[in-house]
Amino acid sequence: MPRDKSIARRGPPWPDWAVAGFLITVIAIIFGQTLWFDFLTYDDAWLVSGNRLVNRGLTVDGISAAFVSGPAGEWYPLSMISHMLDCQIFGLSAWGHHLTNLVLHAATTIGLFLVLRNMTGELWPSALVATLLAIHPQHVESVAWIAERRDVLSGLFFVLTLAAWLGYVRHGCRLDRYLLVALVFTLGLMSKATLVTLPPLLMLLDYWPLGRFGQAAETTGGAERKSLGWLAVEKLPLLALAVGDCVLTVVTHIGDTTGGRSFTERLAGAVVALVEYLRQAFYPAGLSAFYPTPAGGYPAWKIAGSVALLAAITIAALAWRRGCPYLFVGWFWFVGTLVPVLGFLTISAHAMSDRYMYLPQIGLSIAVVWGATRLVAGSVQRRYALGGCTVLVIVALVACAAVQTTYWHDDLRLWTHSLAVTGSNGIGERALADALNRAGRRQEAIEHYRRAIEWGFDPQAMNNMGLALAGEKRFLEATDQFRALLQFDPNSLSAHTNLGLVLAEQGKDDEAAEHYRQAITLNRHLVKPHYGLARLLAKQGRSEEAIAEFEQVIALAPHIAGPHADLAAELVRLGRTDEAIARYRQALQFAPHDAALQNALDRLLKTKTLKQ
C-alpha cells in the first residue's frame, strides 16, 4: 500500500529540531543535578551497587541470572543487563548510572514527540505532550532513582514500538514490519512487565489518530480501514507475548500476591489510587517515595466519591468518543496502562507510586492538550491566552520537578521528606532510621526504629534496631531485641548471627557459639556466622577448630584481608610459621596499606631468620 500523502509530516524539519533541543534543555535543567548524586541504599544497593552479579559488569553468570530469576518478583532481564553495562563502563561511579537514566529519558520524550507528530500531523500538541512527559514532577522518581532504570528503558522501547506500529500501518501491514513491532515490544517487556498493556493500547491508537476502524471518528491517520475483528486478531501475537511475560513475572515472584488484602479491599484501593493519580497529575504536591496503605482501609465516602468521579469521566469519554476521540483514547490510555500496578496483584507495601505514572500520564496529557487545542481553535485571542497559560504551566512544572529531584540526593533527605508528606508509617520510619544509623546518628535511629516496630511486626527494623543498640554498647537491650525477633521468627539468620555477636561481647561465649552454629545450620554459605564462630573459638584458645572455621570463611569470601590475618595468627600460635607467613602475604594482597599486617609479617620473618 503506498503511503498516503495526506499523512506526511507538514512543513520544514527545523521545528522538530527546535522542540528536541528544548526537551533536552529542560531535562538537563531538572535532572542535571543528579550527576552529583550517589547511589541510594533504597533499592540501589541490593539491585546495583551491592549486587555482585551486577556490579562486576557484563559476565556470563550475571546475564544468565538476569534471564533465569527476577529480583523483587519481576522479570526484567534487559534492565538488569543495562545496569551491568553501566558497571562495565562506569564502575561504581554513580554519575554514569544517573547519566544513562537522563539520556534514556531524553530519548523517550523526543521519540514520543516524533511519534505523535507523525501520527497526528500536529506539531504543537505533540510537542506539549512530550514536554509534560519530560518535566512533570511525577516522573522524577523514574529518572532520579537509579534502580528505576526499568521505567526509562521500557519507556524508550514503548515509543519505539509505537513508531514501529506506525510504520507497519503506513506501509501496507507487511509481515517484516509486524515482526519489527514484535521484536521491539519484546525488548520492552524484557525491560519492565507493565508494557503488557500495549496491545490493547494499539487498538486505541487504531481508533484515533490512525483511523483504522471501519467507522472511525475524526482522524488524521489516513490508514486503510479494517473491521474490528480483523484488528483484534492482528494483535493476538503481541497479546501472546504479553501473557508470556505475565507468566514469567508470576513464576519468579516469591510470596503472596494479594498483599494480605481481600479483592474488595484491593479494588477499593485501586479506585482511590486512580483519583489520587489524577489529582497529582494536575496538582503535583505532596509527592513521596512511599505511599502507605491506610490502616483499616479507606473511608467509605472516599471510595464512593472516587467511584462516582471515575464513572462520570468514563461515561463522558464514551459519549464523546466520536466528536472528541482524543478524550476517549487519552482516558482509556491512562486507566488501561495503570491496571497492572493498581494493586490487584502486589509485590510491595506501596499503595501507589509516582513511577507508575511514567507512561499512563501520556494518555491524560493527550486528552487535555488536544482538548484545549480544539477549544481555542478559530480564535486568535484564545490561542494567545492558551499559549500564555502553557508557558506559565511549563515554568511552574520545571521548578517543582527541580525541587522534587533534590529529595533524591540521599536516603536521609529522601525519607525525611517522605515522612513529612505522608505522616508516620512503618516503612518510612524504618527507612529513615536506617539512613540515620548509617550517618552515625544512632540515638535518633533507635527512636525511629521503635516507631517502625509500633506499626507492626517488622523483622528488619527489629534486627537493625538491635545492631544500633549494640553500636551504642547497650548490649543487654540489643540482646532483648534479638531474642524478641527470634520469638517471632525462630529461623531468622540475622537474629541468630547478631545475637551471637552481642552475647560474645558480654562474655557469654558458649551461648554465643550456639547461636552462630544455629545460623550455620540454617545456611552454611553465610560468612558472618562462620567468622563470628571462628573468632570465638580463637578467643577460647581452640586453635584447630578456629582454623577450620577461618578456612570456611576464606572459601566463602577469599578476597577479604581479615580472615587471612586471623588465620595467620592461629597458625603462629601452633608454630606453623611458614603457613602463617603465606597467609599474612595473602592478607596484604587485599589490604596492601595495612601497617599492622605488614608489621606482623615483618616480626614473623625476623623471628624465623633468628631461629635459622
Per-residue pLDDT of 371-420, as tens digits, reads: 999 999 888 899 999 999 999 999 999 999 999 999 999 999 999 999 99
Q: Give pLDDT, residue 609.
A: 78
pLDDT at residue 261 greater than cutoff 80: no
DSSP strand E in 198-330: where?
291-292
* Alpha-carbon gap, residue 596 to 579, rounded angstroms: 18
Q: Which residues contact 493 (CB under 8 A, 6 or more apart)?
A: 519, 522, 523, 526, 529
Q: Which residues contact 377 (CB under 8 A, 6 or more apart)?
A: 383
Tell me the average pLDDT across 512-519. 94
Q: Give pLDDT, residue 3.
A: 40
- The Cα-based distances of 120 to 52, 219, 566 in angstroms read 47, 8, 71
Judged by DSSP in three states, 557 sits in coil
Return the minimum-mean-pLDDT range out of 169-178, 295-304, 351-360, 392-401: 295-304
Q: Give pLDDT, residue 378.
A: 81
**Residue 296 banded pLDDT, cuts 50, 70, 90:** confident
Q: Which residue has the higher pLDDT, 222 or 150?
A: 150
Judged by DSSP in three states, 377 sits in coil
Fill in the amino acid letter for 143.
Answer: V
- The Cα-based distances of 392 to 134, 361, 388, 397, 398 in angstroms read 16, 20, 6, 9, 10
pLDDT at residue 38 greater than cutoff 80: yes
Burial class (CB in 10 A: 0-12, 13-18, 19+), 497: buried
Q: Check: CB of residue 224 under 8 Å from CB of residue 1.
A: yes
* Alpha-carbon gap, residue 612 to 278, rounded angstroms: 83
Q: How much of the chain exceeds pLDDT 70, in percent?
A: 93
Q: Check: CB of residue 436 under 8 Å from CB of residue 445.
A: yes
- Give the pLDDT confidence of 272-292 residue by residue, as tens digits: 999 999 999 999 999 999 999
- Give the pLDDT confidence of 551-604 residue by residue, as tens digits: 999 999 888 999 999 999 999 899 898 898 999 999 899 988 888 889 988 888
pTM (2 d.p.): 0.90
pLDDT at residue 200 greater than cutoff 70: yes
Kindly state the helix (H) or strand (E) to which residue 23 belongs, with its residue range.
helix 14-31
Give the best-scoring range by mean pLDDT among 56-60, 94-98, 347-351: 94-98
**Residue 11 banded pLDDT, cuts 50, 70, 90:** low
List the grid coordinates of 247. Answer: 507468566
* Alpha-carbon gap, residue 169 to 178, rounded angstroms: 9
Judged by DSSP in three states, 569 sits in helix
Burial class (CB in 10 A: 0-12, 13-18, 19+), 162: buried
List the grid coordinates of 359. Answer: 507512561
Q: Give pLDDT, residue 73.
A: 55
Give the best-scoring range by mean pLDDT among 93-97, 339-343, 578-582: 93-97
pLDDT at residue 251 greater than cutoff 80: no
Q: Give pLDDT, residue 72.
A: 54
**Residue 71 banded pLDDT, cuts 50, 70, 90:** low
Tell me the average pLDDT across 415-438. 95
**Residue 7 banded pLDDT, cuts 50, 70, 90:** very low
* Alpha-carbon gap, residue 428 to 433, rounded angstroms: 8
Q: Give pLDDT, residue 215.
A: 54
Candidates 141, 431, 109, 116; CA nearest to 280 is: 141
Tell me the average pLDDT across 294-323. 94
CB atoms within 10 A of CB 82: 22
Strand pairing partners for 226? 213
Total residues found in the chain within this entry: 612
Helices 426-438 and 411-422 pack at an angle, to 10 degrees, of 150
pLDDT at residue 67 greater than cutoff 50: yes
Mean pLDDT, the chain, integer: 91
Q: Give pLDDT, residue 1.
A: 34
Q: How much of the chain exceeds pLDDT 90, in percent?
A: 76
